[in-house]
Structure 1
């Protein structure tokens, strides 16, 4: 991950598939103000901590949250309900295999950290779906 939370937030916004002007509008900032606040070199304008959550929501990214958790020796885990999304266990496992391939491909290609991190989260979710399917299948067998 980039050095420092400021650089990481800037990278998150720059790598977001949405235009920065759209993000600025969503968080209620003029584009030029947001860009100044995101610039780690601009000593005259700083991004307030209260803007972090709206920016993460606008970018659909948990990168800063994961960075902060990792700096503290923790890992972020979703609390959303995990349900298998395939009709068979075999298909569920194939989804996980594809997610692992994409995750490794992103790293081998040197893609941006945010892109790799998204595939990591997809892979983790797929693993949870596999486990949920497995547990459901096992409990149906009376095991």
Structure 2
């Protein structure tokens, strides 16, 4: 794996929902071993590809997947069903504007590509939710 993918994985782990020590325990790895495997400069220990999916699940993140897809000129699309999450269509649409603003702000600040890609996917998801809410309203659901 390239140094860049290791940086994406390490960022995902550091931003994850649990401290790295808890994550290591969940994955059945000693903390020191996991930290060495996440270090792109440590030639003696490398993160095995078989650990990537469990690691992404434990971190509740697809950042490495997005990174890899973007390097292949692709994007990741969630297969989860899109359902409106606000009581009214208007309230739902109002959540789309901040998501779009955050996406544009990240671009203006020159944030890392993976962060901008994550924000892009959030905007796309919000637009999909808006469309589902609109289509349900039009069809009388």
TM, length-normalised to structure 2: 0.84
Q: CA RMSD in A?
A: 2.4
SS of the aligned residue for 2:13 comes to: helix
**Greater CA deviation, 120-129 or 108-117?**
108-117
Q: Which residue of 2 aligns with 1:66?
A: 66
Cα 1:34–1:114 shift into 2, 3 Å: same
Which residue number corresponds to residue 129 of structure 1? Answer: 129
**CA–CA distance in structure 1, aligned partners of residues 95 and 71 of structure 2:** 31
Structure-2 residue corresponding to 1:92: 92
Question: 1:13 maps to what in 2?
Answer: 13
Stretch of structure 1 that moved more, 34-43 or 10-19? 10-19
TM-fit CA distance, 1:124: 2.0
Deviations 1:86-117 (A, max 9, x none): 22221111011122223334455566666555
For 1:16 and 1:112, the matched residues in 2 are separated by 17
How has the CA–CA distance of structure 1 residues 78 and 140 changed in structure 2, closer, same or farther, with 3 Å as cutoff? same
Give the structure 2 partner of residue 25 of structure 1.
Answer: 25
Under a length normalisation based on structure 1, what TM-score does the superposition of the two structures give? 0.83
The number of residues matched between the two structures is 140
Where structure 1 has 5 or more consecutive residues not aligned to the other structure, the ranges are: none
Q: Deviations over 1:18-69 (max 9, x none)?
A: 2111111111110000011111111111111010011111111111001111
Q: Is the 8 A contact 1:15 1:114 kept in 2?
A: no
Q: 24-33 vs 92-101, which deviates more?
A: 92-101
